[in-house]
Structure 1
Amino acid sequence: MKNNNRHFVRVNLLVGALLATGVAQAATVYEQDGKTVEFNVEGMAGIFSTNENYDGVDNGGNDWQEGYIKGDLVGRQATDNGTIYGGLGLIALGTGGDGDAGGYTGGDEGEVKVENAFIGWQSRTGLFDLSIGRQAFTIGDGFILAGDAISLGDMGISGVDVDRGGAYYLAGQKSFEKTAILKIDLQGPLRSDLFWLQSDNPYHQDTELAGVNLEWVDDTHGTLGLSYMSVLDVDQGAGFGLWDQRKGMDVVSLRGQGSAGVENLFLSFEYVDEQGGDTAVKNDANAWYVEGGWTFADLPWSLTLNYRHAEFSGDDSATTDNEAFDPLFFGLTRGFGTWFQGEVASNYAGPANSGNDVDRLELLLQPRDDLTLGMQYWDFGKQDDAGDMSGHEVDMYALWSINDNFVFSPLVGYYTPDGSAVKANQANNDSNLYLQAVLMYFY
């Protein structure tokens, strides 16, 4: 991409690189005779507070803490035919206090586990890159696939085990349990991925899927992508049983993102269609968004304005099909609100990218190179016969790069429920003040 929309791109790179992948830099601990070993550490700690929660009882808000730390060793060995590489990483995570406002954690979670364990080979020319094992995988900007990031805790529901260790908001776990990924780079505008992914996440009912992704990358104008994937298996009845109808579902995605060759312009869109399935009730759902942003580069603090409209189909009770959109493995990739839309709404109150439409207006400012200020206004509506979880939210935040290793991000959110379903979950119609402060470390 050209140097278009400089501030917007810089914010996306900062938040995307740090919050999504976390690999901001790595230290070389060994290098000799074509062999290298690198070590990196990622850690986050946050404190959170709300005036209201969403357990259906009018009992005030929650105060809780989350944290995780993970370290990875990545080794590479150069050969005549390319490079052999591999990685191994552990993560320790947990939640304290009252647990989160959505009730997805209880406040006494803690766990240490393997997060990454993979091996791979990259050809000498870079044409092929094949890897297998436990690792993360993302398509596009994570609208439907951005790693296996949902991390619930002990919810205390009899007969339901969805505990993955907690740290629900920070979502440090992103790796699928088993993967086989072939990346093909023709060293021109065309590149592709062939992938097989197996989740071990009880929330996702151990979903298994496979697919192909094609991308046309133009450094001046942007990227166009087309993806197809099919859900091969689901542990039906496990967890909450939310995704029993995934099995056999076919998913097609068309997307684009870039500047169209216009400096200071940002454009992005995606359309996803979901069809079929192996259950008696077939899927017939879709979702899409359009987004545009402009950076006023000559104004003080490089003001950026961005607008996005998104729609996610809901079930139609008049048909025998399931029209409720399945958001699959969406996640954070390029900043707050992508694709957890609204810090209160998406994370705790609902909705979460199914049966709703969403409008977002965003303002970004950069008073200093190390400081970004943002404000987002959200308007949530309902689609079709989905539960009415409409509402409004305003989020204000800062991203302060303290140094090369530490980033501090305070955030204030104010959420007002409008729909009957979210009022029932909140057990009142009061507005909710939400506070959080997150310290991030990368090495």
Structure 2
Amino acid sequence: MGNSNRLWPSFFKNISGVTLTAIAVTQLPIAKAEYNFTYGDLSGSTSVLVGGAALSTKGVNFGLGQIDYRSGENHGDRADWFETFIKPKLELKYDLNDSVKFFSGLSFITTHTSGDGDAGGYTRGGDGRTSWEDLYLGAQYKDLSISAGRQSYVIGNGFIIADGHLGMLDEGTYWGDPRRAFEDTIILRYAGKSAFSAEAFTVTTDKHMGHQKLSGINMDYNSTYGKLGAAYIHVSDTDSNFQRTAPKNGMNVYDFRLMSMKLPGIDDLTLDAEYAVQRGSGEGVEFKGNAWYAQAAYTFSALPATPQITYRYAAFSGDDDATDGKRESWDPLAKGYMERGAWVIGDITGNYLLNNSNEVVGMWKAAFPITPEVTLGAAYYDFDLDKRNYYGTAVSSKEFADEAAIFADLTLTKNAYITLSYNQVKPKTAAKEVFGDKDFSAFQVYATYLF
């Protein structure tokens, strides 16, 4: 899958390395197979999700090689590894009366990595652990609900907030990390029968993402032609070692989006767009980052198998002077993987090389549902830098790399899913100056079964 929050080269925070097509656990196109039960006013469900991945990469980091994050040792430009996980889950709901309900959820995840460890060097063979994932309580009164604890939270399509965890080091499963829950959450939600919904929230990322606290308000409105959304987010309490390398305390984020928009008379065309800015100041740093994208997807409904073609242009600001007291580069915060190309952009580039900052990328994607159970597809990404530097290292060109991919998604049964993909990245001038001139390729298989 893809780890949506990787580490930056040199100080490795929030970012990058290499790899493949990701299928986020919460987005798997499989039927739910949990066991449902009712005992009076108490109801609930249980399930067990198991998954695994086999990965083989060549030309790692364009030939520079797999650098072990802990020791700095170079293990060569090839890495082969396996990742596995198991996630039991229990959800409960108690109906006090017609207006008042209580709910809770708990789950834990056991992970393991074997082989060479991931191509970015963030995990080794033998890494893995068991830890809590969901652990929350909540109450609902009519259209209002409040919940607190460890839980997942997503704004829009995950452009800014979706993933509260970075799997690395002894936790294992860097690439296919199934953990997504935020820590120390409080979410107050209004979701009635009207077209309007809103949340006030505070969520905290895990230690590998600096324990950054994200607090704010999110609003959505479902119109006849699509969904309109807006959010305000304030960033605070980031750990000091992360704050020194990627300052963000005091940052205010303003986000505006249009999702699944339809134009009258063109039912096969779907439009999406989002624009966000990072402003404010804190601890001697002024924030001036921005990011946006525009996307068009066209489904050929009159053709057999209804193929779909998608184009998206996305831009994330960079910074050409890290010493002027202004941070103009976009901070990806807690963006997450939601589907192929969003928001791990490029299965190799988006996991190990770039991380939605100082980045401009055009994406073409085609998907062909051969049968209801089988979809074949291809994707192409053209990556440029916004400013002529790679995480502070000067380069002579903004041209970074091109990535191409082919993939197959298979629903074997209502509970079993598998995806296969092959990706290849060709370096351009900037990547060659920082890394090397070899093609960076990856083959991967990822499968899940829901009991």
TM-score of the two chains, using structure 2 as the length reference: 0.86
Q: Which residue of 2 aligns with 1:7?
A: none
1:358-369 to 2 correspondences below 5 Å:
358-369=361-372
Kindly indicate whether residue 140 of structure 2 is the aligned counterpart of residue 122 of structure 1.
yes
Q: CA deviation at 1:274?
A: 0.3
Kindly indicate whether residue 417 of structure 2 is the aligned counterpart of residue 410 of structure 1.
no
Q: Which residue of 2 aligns with 1:12?
A: none
Q: Gaps spanning 5+ residues in structure 2: where?
A: 1-21, 66-73, 391-397
1:92-111 to 2 correspondences below 5 Å:
92-111=110-129
Kindly indicate whether residue 381 of structure 2 is the aligned counterpart of residue 378 of structure 1.
yes
- Corresponding pairs, count: 409
Q: CA deviation at 1:24?
A: 4.5
Q: Which has the higher contact order (CA 8 A, sep 6+)?
A: 2
Q: Which residue of 1 aligns with 2:250?
A: 248
Q: Which residue of 1 aligns with 2:345?
A: 341
Q: Which residue of 2 aligns with 1:390?
A: 400
The answer to whether the Cα contact below 8 Å between 1:366 and 1:373 also exists between their aligned partners in 2 is: yes
Q: CA deviation at 1:107?
A: 2.4
Q: Which residue of 2 aligns with 1:72?
A: 89
The answer to whether the Cα contact below 8 Å between 1:147 and 1:176 also exists between their aligned partners in 2 is: yes
Q: Which residue of 2 aligns with 1:322?
A: 327
Kindly indicate whether residue 328 of structure 2 is the aligned counterpart of residue 288 of structure 1.
no
Q: Which residue of 2 aligns with 1:399?
A: 409
The answer to whether the Cα contact below 8 Å between 1:128 and 1:184 also exists between their aligned partners in 2 is: yes
Flag the 1:263–1:78 CA change in 2: closer, same or farther, 3 A: same
Runs ≥4 residues deviating over 4 A = 15-19, 21-24
Greater CA deviation, 258-267 or 283-292?
A: 258-267
Q: CA deviation at 1:105?
A: 1.5
The answer to whether the Cα contact below 8 Å between 2:30 and 2:414 also exists between their aligned partners in 1 is: no
- What are the Cα deviations for residues 170-219 of structure 1, in whole angstroms up to 9, with x where unaligned? 120000111000110242111101101122x222111112100011112x
- What are the Cα deviations for residues 34-77 of structure 1, in whole angstroms up to 9, with x where unaligned? 21121022222000011122394482211011121111100111
Q: CA deviation at 1:169?
A: 1.3
Q: Which residue of 2 aligns with 1:274?
A: 278
- What are the Cα deviations for residues 317-336 of structure 1, in whole angstroms up to 9, with x where unaligned? 29541111100111112x21
Q: Which residue of 2 aligns with 1:351?
A: 354
Q: Which residue of 2 aligns with 1:132?
A: 148
- What are the Cα deviations for residues 78-99 of structure 1, in whole angstroms up to 9, with x where unaligned? 1123211111111001211111
Letter in 2 for 1:230: H
- What are the Cα deviations for residues 397-416 of structure 1, in whole angstroms up to 9, with x where unaligned? 11100001100101000111
* Identity in percent: 28
The answer to whether the Cα contact below 8 Å between 2:317 and 2:330 also exists between their aligned partners in 1 is: yes
2-side partners of 1:389 and 1:102: how far apart? 22
Q: Which residue of 2 aligns with 1:194?
A: 200
Q: CA deviation at 1:26?
A: 4.7
Q: CA deviation at 1:242?
A: 3.9
- What are the Cα deviations for residues 242-268 of structure 1, in whole angstroms up to 9, with x where unaligned? 43x111100010001113254221111
- What are the Cα deviations for residues 1-26 of structure 1, in whole angstroms up to 9, with x where unaligned? xxxxxxxxxxxxxx988553788525
1:74-89 to 2 correspondences below 5 Å:
74-80=91-97, 81-89=99-107
Kindly indicate whether residue 175 of structure 2 is the aligned counterpart of residue 169 of structure 1.
yes
Q: 1:434 aligns with which of 415, 421, 442?
A: 442
The answer to whether the Cα contact below 8 Å between 2:64 and 2:77 also exists between their aligned partners in 1 is: no
Flag the 1:369–1:17 CA change in 2: closer, same or farther, 3 A: farther
The answer to whether the Cα contact below 8 Å between 1:23 and 1:42 also exists between their aligned partners in 2 is: no
Q: CA deviation at 1:110?
A: 1.1
2-side partners of 1:66 and 1:280: how far apart? 42
Kindly indicate whether residue 146 of structure 2 is the aligned counterpart of residue 141 of structure 1.
no
Q: CA deviation at 1:149?
A: 3.7
2-side partners of 1:281 and 1:391: how far apart? 31
Q: 2:79 aligns with which of 27, 38, 62?
A: 62
Q: CA deviation at 1:168?
A: 1.1
Q: Which residue of 2 aligns with 1:10?
A: none
Q: Which residue of 1 aligns with 2:18?
A: none
Q: CA deviation at 1:116?
A: 0.8
- What are the Cα deviations for residues 143-167 of structure 1, in whole angstroms up to 9, with x where unaligned? 01112142122xxxxxxxxx5x021
> What's the C-alpha RMSD, in Å, of the aligned pairs?
2.1
The answer to whether the Cα contact below 8 Å between 1:294 and 1:304 also exists between their aligned partners in 2 is: yes
